[in-house]
Structure 1
Amino acid sequence: MTRFHMDLFRLVALLYIVAIAAGQQNTSDICLQAASRLPGRISYPTDSVYISSRQSYYSGFERALAPGCIFRPINTAEVSRFIKLVTAGGQYGNTSQAPKFAVRGGGHTLFSGAANIDEGVTIDLREIKSVVLSKDRKMAAVGGGAVWSDIYPQMVPYNLTVMGGRVPGVGVGGFVTGGGVNFLNQRYGWSCDNIYGYEVVLASGEVVYATANSYKDLWLALKGGSNNFGIVTRFDVATFPQGLMWGGVISFNYTKSVLEAQAKAFRDYMDPKNFDSAADMGIILNYANKTFSLSNSLFYIDPVPYPKTYKAFTSIPSLSPNTLTLTNVSNMVVQFGKNLPSKVPRSIQLVYSFKNTDVPTYTKLIQQWETDIKTLETVPGGLSQFLIQPQPVTNGTNSMGLEANQHDIVMCIVTAAWTNPADDARVQQLVTSIVDKHERVVRRQRLYIPFKYLNYADISQDVIGSYGTNNKRRLRAVSRKYDPKALFQTSVPGGFKVSK
């Protein structure tokens, strides 16, 4: 052995020992092995690829995390090879000793550790982004790292769409495995309700294809079960005929009379007798710079300007201009995204659901948020949003414990953003307190629904538990079957775990 090779051997051995001593259990070693066996796929903190990947997360909490290295595979086979390196052929009999890693799709979740990790390895799937239409154009095979706003333009020439995110930058993976709110969700359900198949890399490194006919238990578990079972590298999603749609954002003066008119309009809109499967909307209340503002997002997937279902909203005196227009889904997503920041600082959002209620209750929820959120006046960069919208009408093909064909379920989200780490606990406590108060209001009316939508939830919320005891038990059984050593429970610490 030459002196050079001896020195290199000592360096690798030193890195190995240091990693164990630091409790990383071979993070450095895994990075080195992957760099050797998968050339060009590993980047380190001084590399431009690493820096770009880390800075591209939507949330400041995720951008603050610094993995030991980032792995960017280009296909399923490379993901499989990497997982086999992580498990080292089973040498980690206790997977709690295996290297820690995170799995990233779009990286749009707000809370820390959802799709990134400190000191471990982040698997950035965004190079696995192909989009292939089936011959009959009824299905699109979509890479697990693809982003919906990049997929939509590829559907436009065929007058088709897919059930993806409504704003730019949302990735396929976390969105679908968490449920998926979309423009078509009142007609066809959650995005996860409309998946033909999943290509999944299991904890063993084995690649399986889960459908309603093969690995059916895994197929169903992935419909709301998130990152508990494996890494999905391809989603075979349903396509839908879609030409022009109508929609956009309309704004109003923030006054008591307007708020009451909004509450009445929304109550009537959510009455099942007024249900319109083409419609999807939200009441958006904002607080920033000590000022409240109000707008509606109105979407209609049929090419009908100012449809009757929205008359009660569009008849309220509004501010000019608005962005309501006829366009395709791709352009609608881009346009809607202009109302939102491309990135956020430190942020939190919590979600809750309930059955449609009366005008005084909607007004009370708004007033409670108004009163409490003014605390943000003294928080640097403090701002908040309270979103009231219909919950998707599921067709029942998921693991989220929801009753099919319910047309009167409301989903509310309270979000806050701020600048300084010193304010973390204060703002998180504020938002949690607001949601607790809101839930007490709807509980007293016996309208509360335990379900928590994963992609709008905070890590402090018991999402998997909200699916119901039987569903949680079934998800745990699927996890144990396909991941018997609990790799995705212990080595992938981020997200909502079925084991908790």
Structure 2
Amino acid sequence: MASLAAGLANGAAVRHSNGSACDQLAAKFPGRTFSPSSDNYTTEAETNIWSLTCVMSPGCVFTPANANDVASAINIIRDTKSTFSVKSGGHMPVHGAQSNDGGVMISMTDINTKTLSKDKSVASIGPGNIWVDVYSWLAKNDIAVAGGRYSNVGVGGLLVSGGISYFGNKVGWSVNTITGMQVVLGNGKIVEVNEKENKDLFWALKGGSNNFGIVTRYDMKTLPQTAAYGGLEAWVGENATSVFIDAVQAFLESPEGIEDIDTEANPSITLIPGSGTWEPVLSPYVSGNYSASSPPSLVNFTSIPNPALNTLQGHDSWVNVPISVQEDNTEDANGQGQIFGCLSAKIAPGLVQLAVDTVLKPALTDLANVTDAFVAVSPEPVSTKFLTAARNSGEYAIDLGPENGPFVILLTTVTWKNSADDETVYAFMNKTLTNLEAVLTEKDLKLPFIYLGDAAPGQYPFSTYGNGNGENVARLKKVQAAYDTNGVFRNLITSGFKL
């Protein structure tokens, strides 16, 4: 595994002199190009970046209104050989994923269109939206899309990563529900991408990140959706955590849990190293009317006594679940440092406890002196139904078949307050992923898949694309060479994960 420090360095490695690009953008788009002295710049380049570790100093921020504006910007950037970045919601906590030093940040904030097809089967969505706005709009028509589980995450970043949604057991990854895209290429051309037009690019963009172009519109299949059950339930203490770990394990091993077509469990075991406080949290979503009782798929969780917080309930409108979770989530990391890292594992008895022992228990000492540190292991279930639905949707770059399921993505998250602790946290994450990989390999539990949306700097998700063995990397690079003939997205863009 590449080191975390190397990954952080690579995220900010590409630098050029960018004065001409920002000057030309300011001349052509004076109301949409912002310098470091402006409030708009501060909002886009600093306030709206999720993790403080990702705040950088671009030479200017450009906020296009539509695909034509993006194309104009790309032409300027290409001709001046300027460094640039693209930001949607700014949620990915990877240095260089959405910003850079001295270059152009293209913020997609104002490309926030939302339209429905006449039969309401397809929603066309701009990448500048955040999911709560999309959900609130769709819920008025009793429909949904397979977007992010956290309502303040941006549309664009989630959809180029793959996407884990509330509806995975029905549709697979979020990208498996995309029917078409509008994309600006490195030569400035605006193209439609779908199963009939630019089909190879369509395949690559379903999980291939921003290595090919800038997506300015996503067309997504809608799902009928009315009532749903969800919210937050949390406990405090080691005893409750032990019971919760058993509940997660039982959910993973039970077809009535992980394979339930309507359930997204979303469990997390969390720890505050400074105080030694354990806080397991459940944030589920279950489709259907559960106004009088809780869903059977969650019985192992809802039977745990004495929760410190419990907002789980049935809702007449499904959109109230993500809204309520966001309102009640006291662990919002915005404005702090944050980092993700993940590995995947086959499901076996004792797996969840193994992850806790390998990730969280060492944090009690390794991060004890890190100010306001908060560490979590989130076992993200990927069922056989999920992988079957993904495969049945058609070709896509991730290409992980049902023969690999069920399995679990073990997401590790660390948040912290002070930049003085950055190196300590980076070292912890690097050591943790190395140790977890070694333990999983030793016990023959490692499944070779790294989910891009949860990956740490220095990890290489594409090496697992194609049934976990990287067989799709060559095809991805071939598509990039065909559509990015000027090397704009190969050489000029800063990115979380390059090919």
What residue number does 2:164 align with?
A: 181
What residue number does 2:6 align with?
A: none
What residue number does 2:288 align with?
A: 302
> What amino acid maps onto 1:385 in structure 2?
A
Say whether residues 1:372 and 2:362 are aligned partners.
yes
What residue number does 2:74 align with?
A: 83
1:329 to 307, 311, 318: 318
What residue number does 1:57 align with?
A: 49
Q: Does the 8 Å contact 2:51/2:333 carry over to 1? A: no
1:36 to 17, 27, 31: 27
Find the aligned partners of 1:450 and 1:429 in 2 and give their Cα distance: 23
2:57 to 58, 61, 66: 66
Structure 2 unaligned blocks of 5 or more: 1-13
Find the aligned partners of 1:35 and 1:320 in 2 and give their Cα distance: 52
Cα 1:325–1:405 change in 2 (3 A) is farther
Q: Percent identity over the alignment?
A: 29
Find the aligned partners of 1:237 and 1:406 in 2 and give their Cα distance: 26
Alignment of 1:399-438 (within 5 A): 399-404=397-402, 407-438=405-436
Find the aligned partners of 1:469 and 1:284 in 2 and give their Cα distance: 29
Alignment of 1:239-254 (within 5 A): 239-254=222-237
What residue number does 1:462 align with?
A: 460
What residue number does 1:348 align with?
A: 339
Please say which of residues 196-205 and 50-59 is displaced more in the overlay: 50-59
What residue number does 2:263 align with?
A: 279
Find the aligned partners of 1:482 and 1:409 in 2 and give their Cα distance: 34
Deviation at 1:407, TM superposition (A): 4.8
Say whether residues 1:473 and 2:474 are aligned partners.
yes
Aligned length: 465
> What amino acid maps onto 2:362 in structure 1?
D
1:228 to 187, 192, 211: 211
Deviation at 1:41, TM superposition (A): 1.3
> What amino acid maps onto 1:27 in structure 2?
N
Q: Alpha-carbon deviations, 1:378-413, whole Å to 9, x = none? A: 112222111122136231242113113765211111
Cα 1:24–1:403 change in 2 (3 A) is closer
Find the aligned partners of 2:158 and 2:101 in 1 and give their Cα distance: 23
Cα 1:408–1:272 change in 2 (3 A) is farther
Say whether residues 1:267 and 2:252 are aligned partners.
no
Q: Secondary structure at the match of 2:61?
A: strand
> What amino acid maps onto 1:366 in structure 2?
V
Find the aligned partners of 1:122 and 1:321 in 2 and give their Cα distance: 40
Q: Does the 8 Å contact 1:201/1:230 carry over to 2? A: yes
Q: Does the 8 Å contact 1:107/1:171 carry over to 2? A: yes
Deviation at 1:313, TM superposition (A): 1.8
Find the aligned partners of 1:53 and 1:215 in 2 and give their Cα distance: 32
Deviation at 1:240, TM superposition (A): 0.6
Q: Does the 8 Å contact 2:138/2:144 carry over to 1? A: yes
Q: Secondary structure at the match of 2:457?
A: coil
Cα 1:320–1:61 change in 2 (3 A) is closer
Deviation at 1:246, TM superposition (A): 0.2
Q: Does the 8 Å contact 1:271/1:408 carry over to 2? A: no
Q: Secondary structure at the match of 2:138?
A: helix
TM-score scaled to structure 1, two decimals?
A: 0.89
Cα 1:344–1:412 change in 2 (3 A) is farther
Q: Does the 8 Å contact 2:355/2:377 carry over to 1? A: no
Cα 1:419–1:457 change in 2 (3 A) is same
Find the aligned partners of 2:232 and 2:223 in 1 and give their Cα distance: 24
Find the aligned partners of 1:346 and 1:259 in 2 and give their Cα distance: 25
Find the aligned partners of 1:263 and 1:292 in 2 and give their Cα distance: 12
What residue number does 1:137 align with?
A: 120
> What amino acid maps onto 1:61 in structure 2?
T
Q: Does the 8 Å contact 2:231/2:283 carry over to 1? A: yes
Find the aligned partners of 2:443 and 2:83 in 1 and give their Cα distance: 45
TM-score scaled to structure 2, two decimals?
A: 0.89
Find the aligned partners of 1:169 and 1:432 in 2 and give their Cα distance: 28
Q: Does the 8 Å contact 1:251/1:296 carry over to 2? A: yes
Pair member with larger Rg:
1
Higher relative contact order (CA 8 A, sep 6+): 2
Deviation at 1:25, TM superposition (A): 4.5
Please say which of residues 128-137 and 421-430 is displaced more in the overlay: 421-430
Q: Does the 8 Å contact 2:236/2:279 carry over to 1? A: yes
Find the aligned partners of 1:303 and 1:404 in 2 and give their Cα distance: 29
> What amino acid maps onto 1:29 in structure 2?
S
Q: Does the 8 Å contact 1:272/1:407 carry over to 2? A: no
Q: Does the 8 Å contact 1:254/1:292 carry over to 2? A: yes
Find the aligned partners of 1:226 and 1:259 in 2 and give their Cα distance: 36
Q: Does the 8 Å contact 1:259/1:363 carry over to 2? A: no
What residue number does 1:381 align with?
A: 372
Q: Does the 8 Å contact 1:251/1:318 carry over to 2? A: no
RMSD: 1.9
Please say which of residues 441-450 and 199-208 is displaced more in the overlay: 441-450
